Amino acid sequence: MTPGAPPGGPVGEPAHDPRTARTRDRLRRALLDECARRPLDEVGVAALARRAGVGRATFYLHYPDLQALAVDACAGIVRDAVDALHAWRGAPDPRVPPAALPEFFDRIAPHAALYRTLLSPGGGGPLGELLHRELRERSRAERALAGAPEPELIASAVAATFTGVLADWLHGLIEDTPHSLATRVWRLLVRLHGTPFTQT
């Protein structure tokens, strides 16, 4: 890491600077291209920087290491997952998932090897932690807004369940097609949201 570079951030440039955004986008795209050809642990910073058309020093102005870049490159999949699970209006159909959910599972296939590097079985790893945190907060906020009981408990259960199922599917511990898995996990999450509670 370049001395003085804050983790994941450039030196002397605001995060919203257009040049910063363009450079990070090029680095993210280059990483996804590299990881389509080889595992993340075989990707080198020098080769990645060349593919992105930037210098090695520029890489370290933006990211402390390749894993930080990988998590940033995969952050979009976290947003996609959270949005897909909430892509419905009115009362959700408990049997049929919103169309965005099977589409989400379809989209992650091309970069599954990279996701497996960052999302360990059971839902651990940097990508798993990010997905769990974002999904838990979204579920908690929406449940609290609706006045549903136990928003913290159910949000934790939903986040842990989805993150764990996704991770285990990517690692081959669950054998299923994207569309079938989307239906099964949707029905499971609907049941969690519908868990009855009684005051003791």
Identify the CATH number of the domain in which residue 43 sits.
1.10.10.60
pLDDT, one tens digit per residue, over 54-72 is: 999 999 999 999 989 998 9
Quickly state the pLDDT bin for 196 (edges 50, 70, 90).
low
177 and 90 assigned to the same domain: yes
- Residue 110 exposed, middle or buried by CB count within 10 Å (0-12, 13-18, 19+): exposed
pLDDT, one tens digit per residue, over 159-190 is: 999 999 999 999 999 999 999 999 999 999 99
With a CB cutoff of 8 Å and minimum separation 6, the contacts of 24 are 62, 72
pLDDT, one tens digit per residue, over 89-138 is: 777 889 999 999 999 999 988 888 889 988 999 999 989 999 999 999 99
On whether residue 156 sits in a domain, the answer given is yes
With a CB cutoff of 8 Å and minimum separation 6, the contacts of 47 are 34
On whether residue 161 sits in a domain, the answer given is yes
94 and 165 assigned to the same domain: yes
Query: Across residues 141-145, what is the average pLDDT?
Result: 92
In total, how many domains does the chain have? 2
What pLDDT is stored for residue 14 in this prediction?
A: 53
What pLDDT is stored for residue 99 in this prediction?
A: 92
Q: What residue has token string 């994207």?
A: 178
How many other C-beta atoms are found inside a 10 Å radius of the C-beta of residue 131? Answer: 26
On whether residue 8 sits in a domain, the answer given is no
86 and 145 assigned to the same domain: yes
Q: Is the pLDDT of residue 1 over 50?
A: no
54 and 90 assigned to the same domain: no
Nearest alpha-carbon partner for 85 in 70, 97, 67, 68: 97
92 and 56 assigned to the same domain: no
On whether residue 181 sits in a domain, the answer given is yes
Task: Report the C-alpha dihedral over residues 77, 81, 86, 88, rounded to 10 degrees.
Answer: 90
Cα dihedral across residues 117, 123, 129, 133: positive or negative: positive
On whether residue 166 sits in a domain, the answer given is yes
On whether residue 119 sits in a domain, the answer given is yes
On whether residue 12 sits in a domain, the answer given is no
On whether residue 5 sits in a domain, the answer given is no
41 and 98 assigned to the same domain: no
Q: What is the pTM of this model?
A: 0.79
121 and 172 assigned to the same domain: yes
Domain assignment of residue 177, given as a range: 70-193
Burial state string for 24-39 with b = 16 or more CB within 10 A and e = fewer than 16: bebbbebbeebbeeee
pLDDT, one tens digit per residue, over 4-63 is: 333 444 444 455 688 999 999 999 999 988 887 888 889 999 999 999 999 999 999 999
Cα separation, 138 vs 136, in Å, equals: 6
150 and 76 assigned to the same domain: yes
The amino acid occupying position 191 is R
177 and 84 assigned to the same domain: yes
